[in-house]
Structure 1
Amino acid sequence: MISRKIYFVCPTNPHPSGGVKQIYRMVDILNKNGFDAAVIHKKADQRETWFPNNTKVVHNPYLFKLIKYLDKKKLSISKKLKLMYLKKISFSIETDSILVFPEIYSSINKIEPFTKKVIFNQNCYYTFNGFPLGSSAEDFPYNKKNTLETIVVSEDSKNYIQTAFPNTSVHRIRLGINASIFNFSENKEKIIAFMPRKLSEDSTQIINIFQSRNNNSDWKIMPIDNKSENEVAEILKKAAIFLSFNHKEGFGLPPVEAMSCGCYVIGYRGQAGKEYFNSEFSAPVEDGNILEFVLKIEEATKVYDRNPHEIINKGRIASEFVLANYTISNEEKDIINIWNDIMVRAEKLE
């Protein structure tokens, strides 16, 4: 039953991306458990290298060029010739295979229209990107018979998709944190870490206001950007505080990984983060409230300056919560259960 091939269409990202890492992770878990799965990238020899992997990767330039051209009303002769050439040099996708698309592509109804699809929706707030106002129900792949399943990564996303598309099948997987990399450390320093590519307009204001009001502070601000997975973990193990700039997230991995390393996390929940931002061990801030954010950083740094163990113990509780609820074993179990069900439904539609 699980012999049919599963292809995960994977976009190229110039920066490390949690969404891409999760695609790779799901492919690895499926292959480990007897499925035949592969990541599809655009270019030959392309694979992500910012985290260690031996994931099965194949390449299909025709598929990605087709995705690019489908949004155009009319193709020039040169573009048609380009498609013909790329189709000739690309492998043919088997008719009984399953194509898995991320939520960022809007034209998947037109790609291999007779092939069964699954949508791996890691940020529900991107679901309607690319669809014009007034699109009909038939335009959305979630309403198509050939769309076997929508897989999401949080309860917030599950509620979103079920509300938007009441007749679609949607299941949530519990993402797992790799505890061998992201684990608790009590050897904290006066470091405030954050991801600068997230809501930079907010982070610039917040950090500048904090530093302006605390110009004699010995706290170090440390941006995390273009780092490998292991490098990120090493910074988080040292940082006492992590700033979350979640914004309409499908899940929001960075603050969870920071919690796993024992950081006291301050900041935005981004909707999905409501399930793990707990005031017992973190400091949620109303989205967009710049001054509240600054004051909570000040409060946490003053507490740490008086008694570091008070903040470190909150980080310990956060780590215990994350490593109890977001485990690799739970993620694997959810993935296998969902894909076993998908395969049964695929057979019934034959």
Structure 2
Amino acid sequence: MRTITFLNPFKRSLWTGGIKTTLYHAELLHQNGFPVRIFQPDGIPDAAPDSTKPLFISELNIPNNDITIFPECLNDFLRDWIEMPEIQNKYIFCQNQYYFYAYNISTRDLERFGVKGLLCPSEFSKKSLVNVLGINPDFIHVVPCVVDREMFKSHMIKRNQIVTASRKWRGMEGIPSYSFLLRSMLHLKYPELSDIPWIMLEHQPQQLVAEAMNASTVFLSLSRLESLGLTPLEAMSARCLVVGYHGAGGLEYATPQNGFWFSPEQQEEVVDALALALNGLPAQNPVLTKMLDAGEYTASQFNVQAATTALIETYRAFCHH
């Protein structure tokens, strides 16, 4: 069977949802009998799970028949590598189509590079790639993300507080930042909620993120330009009531039944929904309880079994391509 090599050329100190997903997919494939390795020249990521560490390599020689998985950020040496005819079985794991568009890669470029397929995390992302690039839908394979239900699960006793995550796009916070703006608006319109704690999840390891979500009642979603949006799903799994932006990709799962979802222009609506959640959850408002149940069910659909089935089918097809 062909060896699958994931290219992960990032600093070992960097830990993102994309890196987490790459490692998780590599581990699932390895557990199911696929030869897998992860190329990271800077060394094993500091936050990598112990179970993935044996898969890492820091030097690379790619045999002609190997399967090579490129990230969507095709810059520096990756751009040179994807143009090399010596690397024959090239695929791109496009975890965020908006990142991919920023590199101005056309369908003609993909053909010239010899790329045999794209992978993406959602039907929303696939539809966007088809519409923008004019790619044949059969060229794109959806491999879903996984919510760790053992890590992200509710405490029996939650503190009435807001937990939120900063954005990954440079400059996305704006002037002022969205979190600061929404917090200020909430305090101005609902001064009785000024003492509600806000927990900022900036550059935190996954375990601390999970602990904060598990102990909190409300997650403020600041999702923007997403292909899916894993963090709100993790918050749903932790039985946080999600309030905020769907981030476009969140439309894959966002409904009026499982959260209060808005566009980034609806700041006042977000503030009103935050107040409704913060006032209603301690009183066990039955409508909000049903919303929590719906959110938890939504998160449960992004499970290991579904991801494993899709991965095995997809990579088995790659191996016989």
Indicate the larger mover: 330-339 or 274-283. Answer: 274-283
**Correspondence for 1:194:** 164
What CA deviation, in whole Å up to 9, does each residue of 1:268-302 have, x standing for no partner? 11111012212112000123322221121122222
1:260 Cα deviation (Å)?
Answer: 0.5
Question: What is the DSSP-based 3-state SS (H/G/I as helix, E as strand, rest coil) of the residue aligned with 2:86?
Answer: coil
In 2, the alpha carbon distance for the partners of 1:281 and 1:159 equals 23
CA distance in 2, matches of 1:150, 1:270: 22
Does structure 1 conserve the Cα–Cα contact (< 8 Å) formed by 2:107 and 2:135?
no
Letter in 1 for 2:180: T
In the alignment, structure 1 residue 114 sits paired with structure 2 residue 113: no
Does the alignment pair 1:160 with 2:160?
Answer: no
Amino acid aligned to 2:242 = V
Aligned to 2:98: 125
Specify the structure having the higher radius of gyration (Cα): 1
Change in Cα spacing, 1:151 to 1:177, as seen in structure 2 (3 Å) is same
1:146 is matched with 114
CA contact (8 A) 2:182 2:267 kept: yes
Change (3 A) 1:104 1:243: same
Per the alignment, in what secondary structure is the counterpart of residue 91 of structure 2?
strand
Structure 1, 223-232 or 24-33: larger mean CA deviation: 223-232
In the alignment, which of 50, 57, 65 is matched to residue 96 of structure 1?
Answer: 65
Is 1:173–1:334's contact at 8 Å kept on the other side of the alignment? Answer: yes
Q: Which residue of 1 aligns with 2:27?
A: 28
Q: Do the aligned residues in 2 keep the contact of 1:277 with 1:284 (CA within 8 Å)?
A: yes
Deviations 1:112-159 (A, max 9, x none): 33312011010011112233xxx7643x22x34732221110111111
2:3 — aligned with what? 5
Q: CA deviation at 1:338?
A: 0.2
One of 197, 200, 204 as aligned partner of 1:227: 204
Provide the rounded CA distance (Å) in 2 between the counterparts of 1:312 and 1:233: 21
2:98 counterpart letter in structure 1? Y
Cα gap change, 1:108 to 1:246, in 2 (>3 Å):
farther
Instruction: Give yes or no for the alignment of 1:179 onto 2:158.
Output: no
**Equivalent of residue 268 in structure 2, options 291, 295, 302:** 291
Distance in 2 between residues matched to 1:258 and 1:11, nearest whole Å: 29
Amino acid at match of 2:256: S
Match of 2:16 in 1: 17
CA distance in 2, matches of 1:313, 1:237: 18
Q: Does residue 238 in structure 1 map to residue 237 in structure 2?
A: no
Stretch deviating more after TM superposition (212-221 or 111-120): 212-221
Q: CA deviation at 1:186?
A: 4.2
SS at match of 2:135: coil
Deviations 1:239-265 (A, max 9, x none): 100011111111111100000010100
Q: Cα gap change, 1:272/1:137 in structure 2, threshold over 3 Å: closer, same or farther?
A: closer
Q: Report if aligned partners of 2:228, 2:252 keep a CA contact under 8 Å in 1.
A: no
TM-score (norm 2): 0.87
Q: Secondary structure at the match of 2:51?
A: coil
Q: Which moved more, 1:305-314 or 1:252-261?
A: 305-314
Q: TM-score, normalization: structure 1? A: 0.80
Structure 2 unaligned segments of length 5 or more: list them.
none
Say whether residues 1:210 and 2:186 are aligned partners. yes
1:112 aligns to what SS in structure 2?
Answer: coil
Look up the SS of the partner of 1:127 in the other structure.
helix
Q: CA deviation at 1:181?
A: 1.0
Aligned residues of 2:154 and 2:215 also touching (Cα < 8 A)? no
Identity of aligned residues (%): 22
